[in-house]
Amino acid sequence: MKSDLHLHSTASDGADSPTRVVDLAVEAGLNGIALTDHDTLAGISEARDAADRVGVAFIPGVELSVDHDGVKMHMLVYGIEPGHGPLQDRLADLRQGRTARNDRIVESLQAMGYDISMADVREHAQGPSVGRPHIADALVAKGYLKTRDEAFEHLLHDGGAAYFPRTRLTATEAIELGRASGGVPVIAHPKTISLRSDSYVEAFSRLAVLGLGGIEAHHPMHDQDLRSHLEDLARGLSLIATGGSDYHGMTKRSYRVGIGTGDLKIPSGAFEDVASAIR
Ligand code: AMP
Ligand code: ZN
Ligand code: FE
Ligand code: FE
């Protein structure tokens, strides 16, 4: 199956509605997708309805920012249905943590002289998961910076002048809650993890014992060597090597649905392997 297992919509910080994301998947010739918004399942039912209409297989997902022994990483959890459940119920706390953190970021920007309010930020968010990307959009709309990326570069990046951390699950909690909800946890884009490659082999081995289900080997940020290295690593740990474009809308980042920057090759069995690991 031709698939893309990492897509964002307006339910979090993507630029396109869940329906539009499905349409783009069809245009890209895909027949399976997963929607993986940050900390929310609010886009799932619309995406599934749209996928059903056009005959695209669909997996509900979510992307979490987690902490593993002081190291930050992102985790995708597949097979999480909207409604209540062990992981589902914690997502509300995570979004609450975002709200408190957004307030601190906006206050610190105001203290630096930026004329920006939470109302300005909310104008750029259409879903329930509001974060730094929307604050960046508000700064751009006010003319302080040219692009979302520039706003990150100057103010909002991890450790930046207006950065505050937010509530995170540990990787262990995310795996346990995800599995308890019937889901399949997958380490997202290992490239962004600030560990040397030998240390992440060790981290992934430990997480595999706890119930990790896969590694996102194929991501636009990974060069070909890293993709094949991560595939081998996944295989060696009996994990699924997954892949996705991390599409956020063309206006936000230049990754395209299904192909990333053009050279993304998501393994043909990845969708099926993830789907069959969901309980
Ligand atoms: P938040 O969820 O509020 O912590 O924001 C994290 C999201 O912001 C990430 O998932 C990306 O979509 C985006 N992001 C993080 N770092 C950067 C960066 N340096 N440049 C552009 N976007 C970023
Ligand atoms: Zn995002
Ligand atoms: Fe991510
Ligand atoms: Fe993502």
Q: What is the pTM of this model?
A: 0.96
Q: Which amino acid is at 209?
A: V
Give the model's pLDDT for residue 259: 97
CA-closest residue to ligand 1 atom 2: 131
Give the model's pLDDT for residue 250: 86
Give the model's pLDDT for residue 252: 64
The pLDDT tens digits of the residues spanning 37-55 come to: 999 999 999 999 999 999 9
By most ligand atoms within 8 Å of CB, the mutation choice from 103, 124, 152 for ligand 1 is: 152
157 lines ligand 1 (CB under 6 A): yes
Q: Which amino acid is at 67?
A: D
The pLDDT tens digits of the residues spanning 251-260 come to: 767 899 999 9
What is the Å distance from ligand 4's center to 156 Cα?
A: 17
What is the Å distance from ligand 3's center to 73 Cα?
A: 8
Q: Using the 8-state DSSP alphabet, how is residue 190 labeled?
A: G
The whole-angstrom separation of Cα 243 and Cα 266 is 5
CA-closest residue to ligand 1 atom 13: 133
The pLDDT tens digits of the residues spanning 192-238 come to: 998 887 788 999 999 999 999 999 999 999 999 999 999 999 999 99
Tokens 């994301």 locate to 21
> First and final CA of the chain: distance in angstroms?
20
What is the Å distance from ligand 4's center to 161 Cα?
A: 23
Whether the CB-CB separation of 270 and 242 falls below 8 Å is answered with yes
Q: Exposure string (b/e) for 140-164, b if CB count within 10 Å is 16 or more?
A: beeebbeebeebbeebbeeeeebbe
- Whether the predicted pLDDT of 20 surpasses 90: yes
Burial environment of residue 2 by CB neighbours within 10 A (0 to 12, 13 to 18, 19 or more): middle
- C-alpha closest to that of 256 among 15, 11, 1, 12: 15
Give the model's pLDDT for residue 195: 85
Which atom of ligand 1 is found nearest the CA of 148?
21
Q: Which amino acid is at 105?
A: I
- Whether the predicted pLDDT of 4 surpasses 70: yes
149 lines ligand 1 (CB under 6 A): yes
List residues, by chain if needed, whose CB lies under 5 Å from ion ligand 2.
13
